[in-house]
Structure 1
Amino acid sequence: MKVGILTFQFPYNYGALLQCCALKSHLSSQGHEVSVIPYYPAQQKIWYTINPFSKGIPVRSRVHKAVKFFYKYNQISKFENFKSMLFSGREFTDESELPEHCRELDALIIGSDQVWNDKITGSSDVYYGTGALCPKVAYAASLGSSYELSAIQRRNAQMYLPSFYAVSVREAGSLSLLGRYRGDIRVVCDPVFFLNRDQWDRHQELPAGLSGYVLLYMLEDNPSLLEDGIRYAKQHGLRIIEVNPVLMKKHSGIPLLRSVGPREFIGLVKNAAAVCSNSFHALAFSMIYGKTFIHIPNSNSPERTLSLLASAGIAYDENNHFYDLTNAMESLAPFIEESKTFLNESLAGITCA
């Protein structure tokens, strides 16, 4: 069966590329011929490129990108190398080209990640598979926030959800928001859980000379979370090191590693004494590797990590930010199998239809 994946395969973001890698790997292991649709939204391309001469970049941004080019080059090269494993060929920015890329597919999987978060996608409806004539399955699609739908999300849900063969979301809170538009939506796990620890080990690399550390990874700066991480490191005689996919944040006195791609990110989580983060995928990989996790949710979309903790039977405690994830995967195992079954049966149903 020829299966396409439409997701966020383009960002310099650890979780985005690793969830795409996991979904493609799982589908390939089931005997499908899998391709990642190389769609790269034009505005996102302007944002992520480090080339100051790329088309569409404002003059002020050109100067900024030129100054930062050599600073970011090594790390971005690692992301590009990883992306080359997921797909090849020309990336396209015109969403009207999507139908042509889907023309020979038997099914199109949309997700996972925040493909239905209009704060990222804007008013575009491309991540609802507009124009694709093959059957569509939404897998672990995230709205970003599960508190309320925006006007754009309401419009897209009403117009497009009925046209999907099957729909699943990543956060439990999304069910109540989307249920009025479709009644058979399922909650499933992020695809990074489709690969076990041994399988992820084949993708990981550890930067040389690192041991005895707490890994700090903040997508939203949080002084309280930083304080928790520093305190844990001091109490356990550890150093603290920081990573960031676009090298935007640096805290005084904490070294920021400047050459960390997706492979190195996995290696750093695996070998950390503890992980201090408000990132969904940092939590996911800390579960996979059974880590101590220091966590305060991201204020913009706290339900993403809260929902994942709840799936593992872990209640968020506002007064205690330290979580022992040693047994998290054991708790998640039934949920992971149910999620695989949903995806596999959805594709089998398309084949038989």
Structure 2
Amino acid sequence: MHTGLITFHFAHHYGAQLQAYATMRAIQELGHDCQVIDFRLPHTTQSSALFKKPDSVRALASNAHTALHYGAMKRRYDRFEAFVAEQMDLSSKRYTSDEELRREPPAYDVYVAGSDQIWNPYIYADKQFEPAFLLDFVREGRKIAYAPSLGVSSLPQPYDGQLRDHLASFSALSARESRGKELLESITGKEVRLVLDPTLLLTGEQWGELAAAPARKQPYILCYFISDPGEVGQRAQELHQRTGWPIVQLAGIRRALPGAETVVFDAGPREFLGLFQNAACVCTNSFHGSVFSLQFDRPFFTAMSPKEKAEPAYSRIYSLLSRLGCADRIVGMPDTAAAEAEMDYDAIHRKLAEARAESAEYLRGAIEGD
């Protein structure tokens, strides 16, 4: 099958680019051609620019920080651009609006609406669904979804009706979160499969092929935080005191972590992978930070947001780690493992292989029309 994938593939965000690559490669591993439809919304492109439009205090602060660390930030920018250009099979035409897609749609047998929060209307500039990610431009061919997220726990009117109309023509639906599955089933009346995030469709060995090894060869504690680290930051300090290993901070937030020996600002996707692959242990509050710790068999601790703690059943990190039997790596829960506790990666990978096979089978059947 000639397959076209539409998702967030160009944003300078580790999870976005790696999930897009993973979905594309997983489809290719099933024996089908797959191109990433090169759809880039202008306001999203601006958010990934080296310097932001100076229209807010936050943007001005970001630009000042970029100027201060210009060399590293420019390397990071170039590495994200290179990853898309070198690793993704892109459509021959680039599109910057749904109107362009509808006027001259790319031709495929199957169209895949991919992962990430592509179905969250609140993240777009006009607070409306982006029709392109709901495949409204498709004239002929089967429409399927692999692990899209609504990013919300409820979807009020008129969004529910709009989504129902858009998804009526889809042949197969899936979601990456249990709450998303429930919402989509209630809105559409269709069966929705719960599947793994695309980054888990590939193995650690496959990701290792892309990893760029860091210059540091000695053991280190990798810290990757996308928000205030809280309790998991304290766990990093505890591990540092116990082992003597230095803390290397991969900049997810621009604020340096107290006690960090090194802050890495210039990592692109390949460097991101290499830092996880070679870490002695990891502390993170990022979902994909947890995913790549698992992929590379790294001892790790992670955290949930206060909202996720209140409703862990709706948390994708809790859902994943519970499924794999290692939810005790979540800091701040009653059963959090001790800092020195080891992880049974043989058992984890047995469960992960089973879940991966189930998700890959859904994807195969959706593409082939089984």
Query: Normalising to structure 2: TM-score of the pair?
Result: 0.85
Give the C-alpha shift of residue 287 in structure 1: 1.4
How far the C-alpha of 1:229 sits from its partner, in A, is: 1.2
| Equivalent residue runs for 1:45-60 within 5 Å | 45-51=45-51, 58=55
Q: Secondary structure at the match of 1:216?
A: strand
Corresponding residue for residue 82 of structure 1: 83
Shift of 1:189: 0.8
Give 1:235 deviation, angstroms.
Answer: 1.0
CA separation of 1:94/1:300 partners in 2, compared to 1, >3 Å: closer, same or farther? farther
The corresponding residue for 1:163 is 169
Out of 174, 179, 185, which is 2:185 matched to? 179
Choose the corresponding residue for 1:199, options 186, 206, 218: 206
2:63 — aligned with what?
Answer: 65
Contact in 2 for aligned 1:286/1:325 (Cα 8 Å)? no
Distance 1:276 1:64, change over 3 A: closer
Aligned with 2:271 (options 257, 264, 271): 264
Counterpart of 2:334 in structure 1: which amino acid? N
Q: 1:124 aligns with which of 121, 129, 139?
A: 129
1:19 aligns with 2:34: no
In the alignment, is the contact (CA less than 8 A) between 2:232 and 2:283 conserved in 1? yes
Contact 1:166 1:346 in 2 (8 A): yes
Instruction: Say if 1:210 and 1:91 are closer, same or farther in 2 by CA, change over 3 A.
Output: farther
Question: After superposition, where does 1:114-263 map in structure 2 within 5 Å?
Answer: 114-121=117-124, 122-126=127-131, 127-133=133-139, 134-145=141-152, 147-151=153-157, 153-180=159-186, 181-244=188-251, 248-254=254-260, 255-263=262-270
- Whether the 8 Å contact between 1:3 and 1:106 is mirrored in structure 2 is yes
Deviation at 1:179, TM superposition (A): 1.5
The yes-or-no answer on 1:113 pairing with 2:116 is yes
1:14-38 CA-to-partner distances (Å, cap 9, x unmatched) read 1111111111112223332211111
Contact conserved, 1:291 with 1:325, CA < 8 A, in 2? no
1:319 — aligned with what? Answer: 334
User: CA distance change for structure 1 residues 33 and 258 in 2, over 3 Å: closer, same or farther?
Assistant: same
**Are the structure 2 counterparts of residues 104 and 206 from structure 1 closer, same or farther at C-alpha, using a change threshold of 3 Å?**
same
- Tell me, in whole angstroms, the C-alpha distance in 2 between the residues paired with 1:310 and 1:325: 14
> Is the deviation greater in 61-70 or in 290-299?
61-70
Question: 2:302 matched to 1:290?
Answer: no
Shift of 1:202: 0.8
SS of the equivalent of 1:140 reads coil
SS in 1 for 2:40: coil
In 1, the alpha carbon distance for the partners of 2:194 and 2:108 equals 25
Q: CA deviation at 1:157?
A: 2.6
C-alpha root-mean-square deviation of aligned residues, in Å?
A: 2.5
Q: How far is 1:267 from its partner?
A: 1.2
Give the superposition deviation at 1:160: 1.7
Measured at CA, do residues 202 and 18 of structure 1 come closer, stay the same or move farther in structure 2, by a change above 3 Å?
same
Residues 202 and 130 (structure 1 numbering): CA distance in 2 closer, same or farther, change over 3 Å? same
Q: CA deviation at 1:92?
A: 3.0
Counterpart Cα distance in 2 of 1:193 and 1:169: 14
Identity of aligned residues (%): 28
CA positional deviation for 1:222: 2.6
Structure 1 letter corresponding to 2:115: S
Q: Which residue of structure 2 lines up, in the alignment, with residue 329 of structure 1?
A: 349
Deviations 1:97-156 (A, max 9, x none): 2235644111111111221223323313322112222321110111224x3225465244
Shift of 1:62: 7.3
User: 1 CA distance for matches of 2:254 and 2:177?
Assistant: 28
Distance in 2 between the 1:7 and 1:286 partners?
24
2:41 match:
41
**Residue segments in structure 1 that go unaligned for 5+ positions in a row:** none
Q: How far apart in 2 are the matches of 1:259 and 1:238?
A: 22
Amino acid across the alignment from 1:76: Y
Aligned residues: 345
- Indicate the SS of the match to 1:38: strand
